[in-house]
Amino acid sequence: MTALEIDTAFGPARAYLHCAEEGAAVLMLGHGAGGGLGAKDLV
């Protein structure tokens, strides 16, 4: 697993990358902790 910290307009974000053994791809988006309906988690 590789962890990256990415600067965004709303503060730092963390991304965790997991390498697959075979040629496959997944895009998974999640939400931040403690955010409400107005939270800018995914921009």
Tokens coding 38: 């107005």
Write down the pLDDT at residue 4: 92
Percent of the chain with pLDDT over 70: 74
Question: Could you give the CA distance from residue 37 to residue 39 in angstroms, rounded to a whole number?
Answer: 6
- The yes-or-no verdict on residue 34 having pLDDT over 90 is no
Angle, alpha carbons 38-39-43 (nearest 5°) = 110
- pLDDT of 8 > 90? The answer is no
Domain map (residue ranges) of the chain = 1-29
Q: How confident is the model at residue 43 (pLDDT cuts 50, 70, 90)?
A: low
Q: Where do the H-state alpha helices sit in 1-43?
A: none
Q: What is the pTM for the complete model shown?
A: 0.50
pLDDT digits (tens, 9 = 90+) for 10-26: 788 888 888 888 877 77
Per-residue pLDDT at 2 exceeds 80: yes
